[in-house]
């Protein structure tokens, strides 16, 4: 369904004077802070925008398992290994909650996965960067999950009920993820000089890719204006990015690391840190599939899907037999 709706998901901002009576009544519900539920009437492009965003979000959780999953066998202690295993498993669960939320809009998980594998849907740019060493794994938990949380805490207030409720649970689990990341990273930052050097290097490399997670600057964000009007998004890309920078700088200082060379200066008048924006040409290049790991990530996902076909077929055969047995017994 989303494949046919892609055009409407990009159809520009709705003006009140152009709305039908039904659309106006819908907007009034949004403005009054009501949640929209699956059986409620909604405009086609509200539905398509949600499927796009929730679908991409779900794909990010699943693809996001890859950079950390590849370090489970190499975790430095059994305790770190058990923690990382649980964390990566949680990400799969987050993907499932989100695919389920998309299903309430009439879009199947199989269809969304097909669109991802055909390169017609996106996942978060951050997962196209490599995790080179153990310091990077701490940094993913601290900085990547930290960025995801800033975004997802805001999304708890999104206007679509199932998405909002999925976010409440996901945020609880993400806060464990960020803490385990900070704990692993702190052990490196406060460790030997070589560990500290690795931690500083991980921070420097991940800083800008993490800022990119919030999307392009507001002036270049295609969807923000309409998504804000519908309260699908409750804060803009730049607002959330600022919030993230403001909360992360004191955490870097606490670790005794140098701030990344990224124009970070406290601005007393604004009451916020000033900082340089990432190189947006790099961001858009990663979105086009040209990041350091895009092709590896997609190949891993497509292979996993194909290798799992026998298991899905087995589950379906079992379900069919169980159903036939149940019906015969009735
Ligand atoms: N990466 O008009 P906007 C996680 C695309 S969860 C890739 O501003 P929008 C947990 C955007 O889709 C991380 N594409 O778009 C974890 C659009 O393209 P389209 C995922 C991006 O939707 C941690 C175009 O650029 N979180 O990490 C990105 O209003 C550790 C124009 O952009 C979510 O998905 C990007 N960074 O705002 C898991 C949160 N940014 O669709 C494992 C929900 C933008 O027209 C390990 N999503 N694009 O072809 C959102 O809040 C929004 O979708 C934004 C983008 C803020 C990401």
Per-position DSSP letters for 222-277, written without gaps between them: SSHHHHHHTTSSSS-HHHHHHHHHHHHHHHHHHHTPPPPSS--EEETTTTEEE-PP
Report the candidate in 20, 48, 5 with the shortest Cα–Cα distance to residue 160.
48
Give the C-alpha distances (Å, rounded to integers) separating 310 from 41, 306, 314, 318: 39, 8, 6, 12
Q: Are 129 and 138 in contact (CB under 8 A)?
A: no
CA distance 100 to 103: 5
Give the C-alpha distances (Å, rounded to integers) separating 77 from 73, 83, 130: 10, 10, 22
In a 3-state reduction of DSSP, which class is residue 11?
coil
Instruction: Please count the residues of the chain.
Output: 330
Ligand 1 geometric centre to CA of 288 (Å): 14
In a 3-state reduction of DSSP, which class is residue 160?
strand
pLDDT tens string 227-281: 999 999 999 999 999 999 999 999 999 999 999 999 999 999 999 999 999 999 9
Q: Which of 6, 56, 282 to mutate to test the pocket of ligand 1 (most atoms within 8 A of CB)?
A: 56
Identify the pLDDT of residue 11. Answer: 55
Which residues does the chain have with pLDDT short of 70?
Answer: 1-12
Identify the pLDDT of residue 59. Answer: 98
Q: Which numbered atom of ligand 1 lies nearest the CA of 124?
A: 1
pLDDT tens string 163-200: 999 999 999 999 999 999 999 999 999 999 999 999 99
Q: Dump the DSSP string for 167-222.
A: HHHHHHHHHHHHHHHHHHHHHHHTS-HHHHHHHHHHHHHHHHHHHHTT-S-GGG-S
Pairing of strands 272-274, 265-267: antiparallel
Identify the pLDDT of residue 15. Answer: 87
Ligand 1 geometric centre to CA of 214 (Å): 7
Q: Are 127 and 63 in contact (CB under 8 A)?
A: yes
Identify the pLDDT of residue 5. Answer: 66
Identify the pLDDT of residue 14. Answer: 85
Residue with tokens 């004191």: 250
Q: Ligand 1: residues whose CB is within 6 Å?
A: 52-53, 56-57, 60-61, 64, 91, 122, 124-125, 140, 144-145, 148, 151, 212-216, 221-224, 227, 233, 237, 287
């Amino acid at each position: 369904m989303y494949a046919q709706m892609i055009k409407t998901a990009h159809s520009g901002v709705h003006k009140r004077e152009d709305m039908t009576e039904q659309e106006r009544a819908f907007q009034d519900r949004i403005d009054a802070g009501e949640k929209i539920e699956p059986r409620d009437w909604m405009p086609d492009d509200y539905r398509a925008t949600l499927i796009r965003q929730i679908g991409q979000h779900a794909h990010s959780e699943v693809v996001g398992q890859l950079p950390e999953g590849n370090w489970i066998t190499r975790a430095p202690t059994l305790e770190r290994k058990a923690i990382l295993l649980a964390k990566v498993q949680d990400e799969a669960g987050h993907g499932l909650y989100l695919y389920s939320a998309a299903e309430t809009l009439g879009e199947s998980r199989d269809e969304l996965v097909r669109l991802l594998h055909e390169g017609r849907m996106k996942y978060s740019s951050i997962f196209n960067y490599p995790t080179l060493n153990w310091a990077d794994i701490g940094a993913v938990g601290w900085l990547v999950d930290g960025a995801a949380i800033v975004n997802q805490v805001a999304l708890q207030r999104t206007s679509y009920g199932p998405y909002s409720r999925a976010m409440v649970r996901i945020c609880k689990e993400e806060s464990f993820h960020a803490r385990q990341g900070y704990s692993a990273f702190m052990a490196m930052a406060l460790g030997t000089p070589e560990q500290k050097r690795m931690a500083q290097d991980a921070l420097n490399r991940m800083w800008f890719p993490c800022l990119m997670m919030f999307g392009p600057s507001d002036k270049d964000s295609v969807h923000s204006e309409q998504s804000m009007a519908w309260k699908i998004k409750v804060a803009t890309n730049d607002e959330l990015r600022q919030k993230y920078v403001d909360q992360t700088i004191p955490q870097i200082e606490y670790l005794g690391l140098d701030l990344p060379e990224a124009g970070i200066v406290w601005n007393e008048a604004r009451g916020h840190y000033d900082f340089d924006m990432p190189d947006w040409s790099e961001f858009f290049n990663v979105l086009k599939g040209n990041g350091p790991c895009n092709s590896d990530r997609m190949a891993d996902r497509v292979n996993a899907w194909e290798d799992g076909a026998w298991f899905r077929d087995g589950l379906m055969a079992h379900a069919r037999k169980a159903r036939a047995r149940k019906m015969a017994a009735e």
